[in-house]
Structure 1
Amino acid sequence: MATKTWKIEKDLCRCCHGEGAFNNLAEPRTFLDKVEVYSDMLRECLDIDIPPVPGELCAITYTICNACIARLRDACNFKKQVQDCEQRFMTLYYKNAIQGLKPATKVKEEIEVSIEHAQSDTDADIVLKKEDEDDDDDNHFLGGDDDDGMSDDDLPIKPPKQSVSTMKTRPKPKPKPKAPPVVKKLKPPPKPKKAEPKPAKEKKGEEKEEFTLTVGADGKERFTCKACGKSFNLKPLFTQHYRHVHLKLRPKLRSCHLCNEKVLPWLRPFHMEECHGLPAPSCGACGRKFAFPGQVARHQKFFHMGESAHSCEPCDLKFKSRSEYNHHLIKHGDVKAYKCELCDKMYKWKRGLRMHMLVHNNIRRHVCHVCQEAFFQQSSLKYHQMKKHPETV
């Protein structure tokens, strides 16, 4: 069986097989101040992974046309719209903030109908007798013969017209006395059930009570896991261990479409650059590389263009995120949110309360290596060394 040869003269759109001058699927493009990577959009929105082919056909066959870009962009926008609407609906639903309007029940009013009494049989007989008497009187005045020699007997006999009132009708039964209209009592609307407060769900990765904090002789903290007994010098290391090992919340690995290696999502661009020569998203001004194109845009706006939506008016400082801005605002306020339960002292920062609790527990982590005297804070140890042991400073 003969096979047909497909000759490609220009770029080939992998989505519609059209030929022309098209855009590369993996190259970042800017549209309305947003950086788009079409291969990532296909993967995230439609769950379609289009791999580039090796060799000479890689550059001309790994492209997408403008028509398919517009349809892909609409699909991504629609997916985001559905997700946002569904999230808002479920949020209002669980807060009992959605109410349905119940149609009010209407009571039909009874229409009063007046019924005239029909004539009885005796009344109808009296009317008929009177009509017969009137007919006899009329015949008395009629002549015997007409001028034409025709008698009344020769004329056609017409049946007498009976009026509706003189016709005998069957008497209608007398209506029964009307009962007073029954008014239906409306049932009171059911009282809305009070939503019982749902038990607070434990957050995934909650590790507050899953470790024991111990301080060694050298003054260093150790975070020991209650589940397996492993200890760590830093709390973030214990958090990562607890989430990955005991809660099974390991990040999902994504396979490379050019080789059999599996990498983390944020390490995939660096893997593609090191192993396959595809450049990772980078800043054109300083050359810094990032995992995602959106990070490049945020980096350039903040560090190179000086744009920030979170700026402090008293000190004219700018911040990258709202969390950093809110953390900075504590310096300008007099609110002390952290209170000691033993002596009622208040602190602005959680770190200050943590250092204060070391005094109550008599935990002196900072030890002088010359005279072995211990202190609560690092600053106290430095002051001691400057006064007592200046040669060691």
Structure 2
Amino acid sequence: MATKTWKIEKDLCRCCHGEGAFNNLAEPRTFLDKVEVYSDMLRECLDIDIPPVPGELCAITYTICNACIARLRDACNFKKQVQDCEQRFMTLYYKNAIQGLKPATKVKEEIEVSIEHAQSDTDADIVLKKEDEDDDDDNHFLGGDDDDGMSDDDLPIKPPKQSVSTMKTRPKPKPKPKAPPVVKKLKPPPKPKKAEPKPAKEKKGEEKEEFTLTAEADGTEKFTCKACGKSFNLKPLFIQHYRHVHLKLRPKLRGCHLCSDKVPSHLRTFHMEKCHGQPAPSCGACGKKFAYPARLLQHQKFYHMGESDYRCEPCNLKFKSRSKYKYHLVKHGDVKAYKCELCDKSFKWKSGLNCHMLIHKNIRRHVCHICQESFVQHTSLKYHLTKKHPEAI
């Protein structure tokens, strides 16, 4: 059997085998402020893994045309729409929030129709007998046949006389007397209920004061939860513990389309890699893995390519996000926007004002693990350790 040679002059679309100038399947591209990686979209939406081939054909055969991109994008959007609708439907269903409308039954008004009862067979026989008797009486008075030779059949036929009883009409019903109007008694107005005080909602930042900060012998800090006694090395870990366990503010779980597990959105890619073998977005330079392709692109631009949209001109520092850049700019300014209401001190950052207010409230969160003396600021605790307990440092 003769083999056919396939000569590729331009890029080859791996989805429709069209040739032209196409986009790479693994290269992130932005569409409507969203980063798209077409190889990941094929894997997640259609469960199709298209691997690149090694050698010279790798670059020109690992592309996709615009027509296939549009169809792939529609498929991904439709899949997301179905998943969102199904999740919302099941949530409302289990909450008994879906009800069917019962069809309204229409009651038709009955129309009164007067029906004349037909004569029974016995009544008809009685009428015929009476007519025969009348005919006999007529023949008796006539005295047989006349001289003209006219017989009884030649006489005109008289219509039978209807009895008075059969001509009676149905009497009209008498109108019913109208009932006197019912006077409704007005109910006394209900007594106003006493407004019960609503329970105060916990503010978002209240978890900051729900721990005890202690310093270990090696200088490390311990954040101990006042509610359950658990200790954490980092403050963000304590905040996450307090919000999830004690405030019940757990992140919403998202169901996996391949199994029955439910995981948070930021852990979905790692679940797909661990349980179903679908690799998570990872950096080719350092191997770091990310939950979203956009985070991977941001990481590559900032750490490996040196690109940043936020650069401080006085000190020539670059920042990854706009919030960190704005927080840094306050350092160069002389404006202290946060002022204390109890004294004349002012601060550049809000965190400085919050820490200063603890002095007025006499809230001492930092406790020495040796002599149990407490301090408002962490720097005061460090100074105390260097002066009073230098052997513990």
TM-score, scaled to structure 1:
0.47
